[in-house]
């Protein structure tokens, strides 16, 4: 979160940077994750060529190449992290044209085309793009641990052109006639080889008429939107998915028990099977209420108490953090909450439903079962709980022992998962009687007749 005083300081930096030819902003968080007062962080940085940032990186590999062009016309470029992805960025400004490439460590040679510029990253309001049409040479920067012995370039399916090294630096050039490529997008291919035999080939589009490919949806959504609102919406959807269907099914179950409605029968066998699993789940109080309450707790109660910042204990909620006598509104906390519901709460509901329905079926319908089905009954919930314990371990590494023991989000939820798995696997037959009245009424009627017969015989003997 950027305070008003920090925003004024950034505005001073921006005014001072107007005296320079080019401005590039650096930061840790993407602008979508930064809360700031008016005029907003994006507008303050809007005159710069690019904002280079991290934090989201590639979103655990789900969104590689997280780049976009903001409404101000400047680029926002996330970089994959060094720790896991071993990525670094090489950037250059060639006559006012900003170019970059993200390179995986030990991928040699490194190739960066500076003219003609990559069409996707062209900024017509920030760069002198007309200089590409007026240029006489294709310009490429090439680096390697060994000397470059071969470098060539071609446009489309045209002939290969030899790139000539300028002096002893990384710059390689080849003459070209840009007037041949004034319309539409074209593809530039560069090949380089060093004296150690390492080779690299890259392709990138360029255009001279302003044609541009589009940025992919997810990078644009994550970098141009308000991530806090975006994940708050997804988080709310997941909470509703984990709570409302169970509550509705619980109400329908009561209506079916009271003979006020007939149990629905779905056309697809798979859907009808999962309807039965969830139906049996909601009929058991000791499973239904913990699952509903734990799902409602995530957006309401504290997630953990721990050392949020060095030497300061904080309390973390979905909607904000209390630390050092200050309140920080929730931003990425909604993202963590969303993934908690998606990767633990929702799978746990399905796993417990499968486990208790398996128990129900073995008690009332068919006591025999195959080993794979028996294994799946226990492996699924245990796998979910194990993954949750792993996340609790990383919480301990990040926030300390207090966060481990006072952590309902991670530690306590893993314990709850174990308890629910045990309850579902060992539930008594009498507890499942209500579900049996709906799903297997005939055997239950036989049992009632048997008990009535036994009672009648007892009265006769008296």
In this prediction, residue 371 has a pLDDT band, given cuts at 50, 70 and 90, of low
How wide is the angle at C-alpha 423 spanned by C-alphas 341 and 450, nearest 5°?
130
- Helix, strand, coil percentages (3-state) for the chain, rounded to 5, are 50, 20, 30
Q: Which residues lie closer than 8 Å to 251 by C-beta, 6 or more apart?
A: none
pLDDT-derived band at 24, boundaries 50, 70, 90 = very high
Q: Are 263 and 438 contacting, i.e. CB atoms less than 8 angstroms apart?
A: yes
Model confidence at 49: pLDDT above 90: yes
What pLDDT, in 10s, does the model give residues 64-107?
A: 999 999 999 999 999 999 988 899 999 999 999 999 999 999 99
Pairing, β 185-194 against β 148-155: antiparallel
Provide the pLDDT for residue 396: 87
In which order are the strands placed within the sheet that holds 199-207? Answer: 161-162, 148-155, 185-194, 199-207
Residue 454 predicted with pLDDT over 70: no
The CA distance from 367 to 331, in Å, is 50
Count Cβ atoms within 10 A of the Cβ of residue 14 and give its class: 0-12 exposed, 13-18 middle, 19 or more buried: middle
Segment 38-58 shows an average pLDDT of 92
pLDDT at 182: 94
Mean pLDDT of the chain: 89
pLDDT of residue 271: 87
Query: What is the Cα–Cα distance from 37 to 42, expressed in whole angstroms?
Result: 11
Q: pLDDT for 409-447, tens place per residue?
A: 899 999 999 999 999 989 998 888 888 888 876 644 445
Tell me the angle at which helices 285-300 and 269-282 cross, rounded to the nearest 10 degrees. 90
CA distance 314 to 324: 7
Residue 14: its H or E element: helix 4-17
Per-residue model confidence (pLDDT) at position 268: 85
Nearest to 202 by CA among 192, 194, 193, 210: 192
DSSP SS3 for 206: strand
In the predicted structure, residue 455 carries a pLDDT above the cut 70: no
188 vs 180: CA distance, rounded Å: 14
Q: What is the pLDDT of residue 444?
A: 45
Question: Is the full-model pTM beyond 0.75?
Answer: no
CA–CA dist 42, 227 (Å, integer): 14
What pLDDT does 450 receive?
47
- The answer to whether 321 touches 330, Cβ cutoff 8 Å, is yes
Average pLDDT estimate for 241-264:
90
pLDDT grade for 368, boundaries at 50, 70 and 90? low
CB 77 within 8 A of CB 50: yes
Tokens of 126: 């920030």
| Predicted confidence (pLDDT) at residue 461 exceeds the cutoff of 80 | no
Contacts of 378 (CB under 8 A, 6+ apart): 355, 421, 425
Cα(189)–Cα(155) distance, integer angstroms? 6
Q: What is the mean pLDDT of residues 316-320?
A: 89
Find all residues with CB under 8 Å of 437, minimum gap 6, and list them.
257, 444
- How do beta strands 326-329 and 320-323 pair? antiparallel
- The DSSP secondary-structure symbol of 19 reads T
pLDDT tens profile 189-248:
999 999 999 999 999 999 999 999 999 999 998 899 887 788 889 999 999 999 999 999
**Closest C-alpha to 313, from 200, 185, 402, 246:** 402
The answer on pLDDT for 284 being more than 90 is yes
Task: Render 299-367 in DSSP notation, one character per residue.
Answer: HHS--EEEEEETTEEEEEETTEEEETTEEEE-STHHHHHHHHIIIIIHHHHHHHHHHHHHHHHHHHT--
In the chain, % of residues over pLDDT 90: 63
pLDDT band of residue 377 (cuts 50, 70, 90) is confident
Least confident of 36-50, 96-110, 135-149, 439-453: 439-453
Residue pLDDT, tens place only, 100-128 = 999 999 999 999 999 999 999 999 999 99
Distance, CA of 171 to CA of 192 (rounded, Å): 12
In this prediction, residue 369 carries a pLDDT of 63
- At 168 the pLDDT is 87
Q: What band does 294 get if pLDDT is binned at 50, 70 and 90?
A: very high
How far is residue 299's CA from residue 232's CA, in Å, rounded to a whole number? 10
Domains of the chain: 4-223 (2.60.40.10), 226-449 (no CATH)
pLDDT band at 452 (very low <50, low <70, confident <90, very high): very low
């Amino acid at each position: 979160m950027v305070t008003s005083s920090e925003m004024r300081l950034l505005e001073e930096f921006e005014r001072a940077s107007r005296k320079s030819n080019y401005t590039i902003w650096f930061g840790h968080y993407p602008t979508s994750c930064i809360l700031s007062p008016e005029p907003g962080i994006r507008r303050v940085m809007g005159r710069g060529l690019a904002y280079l940032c991290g934090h989201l990186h590639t979103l655990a590999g789900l969104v590689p190449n997280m780049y976009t062009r903001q409404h101000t016309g400047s680029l926002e470029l996330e970089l994959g992290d060094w720790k896991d992805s071993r990525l670094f960025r090489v950037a250059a400004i060639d006559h006012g044209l900003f170019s970059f490439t993200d390179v995986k460590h030990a991928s040699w040679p490194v190739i960066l085309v500076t003219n003609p510029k990559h069409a996707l990253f062209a900024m017509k309001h920030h760069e002198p793009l007309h200089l590409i049409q007026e240029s006489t040479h294709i310009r490429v920067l090439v680096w390697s641990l060994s000397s470059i012995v071969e470098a060539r370039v071609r446009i489309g399916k045209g002939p290969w052109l030899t790139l000539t090294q300028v002096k002893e630096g990384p710059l390689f050039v080849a003459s070209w006639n840009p007037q041949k490529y004034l319309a539409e997008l074209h593809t530039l291919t560069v090949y380089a080889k060093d004296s150690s035999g390492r080779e690299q080939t890259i392709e990138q589009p360029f255009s001279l008429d302003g044609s541009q490919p589009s940025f992919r949806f997810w990078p644009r959504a994550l970098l141009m939107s308000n991530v806090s609102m975006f994940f708050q919406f997804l988080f709310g959807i997941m909470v509703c998915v984990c709570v409302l269907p169970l509550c509705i099914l619980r109400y329908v179950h009561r209506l079916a028990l009271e003979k006020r409605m007939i149990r629905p029968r779905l056309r697809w066998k798979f859907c009808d099977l999962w309807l039965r699993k969830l139906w049996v789940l909601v009929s058991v109080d000791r499973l239904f209420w913990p699952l509903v309450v734990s799902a409602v707790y995530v957006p309401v109660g504290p997630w953990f108490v721990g050392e949020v910042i060095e030497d300061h204990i904080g309390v973390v909620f979905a909607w904000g953090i209390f630390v050092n006598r200050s309140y920080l509104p929730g931003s990425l906390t909604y993202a963590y909450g969303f993934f908690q519901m998606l990767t633990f709460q929702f799978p746990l509901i399905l796993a417990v439903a499968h486990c208790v329905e398996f128990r129900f079926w073995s008690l009332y319908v068919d006591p025999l079962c195959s080993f794979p089905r028996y294994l799946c009954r226990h492996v699924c919930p245990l796998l979910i709980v194990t993954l949750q314990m792993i996340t609790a371990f990383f919480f301990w590494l990040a926030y300390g022992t207090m966060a481990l023991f006072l952590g309902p989000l991670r530690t306590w939820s893993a314990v709850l998962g174990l308890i629910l798995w045990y309850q579902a696997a060992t539930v008594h037959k009498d507890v499942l009687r209500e579900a049996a009245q709906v799903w297997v009424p005939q055997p239950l009627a036989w049992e009632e007749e048997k008990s009535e017969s036994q009672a009648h015989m007892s009265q006769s003997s008296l």
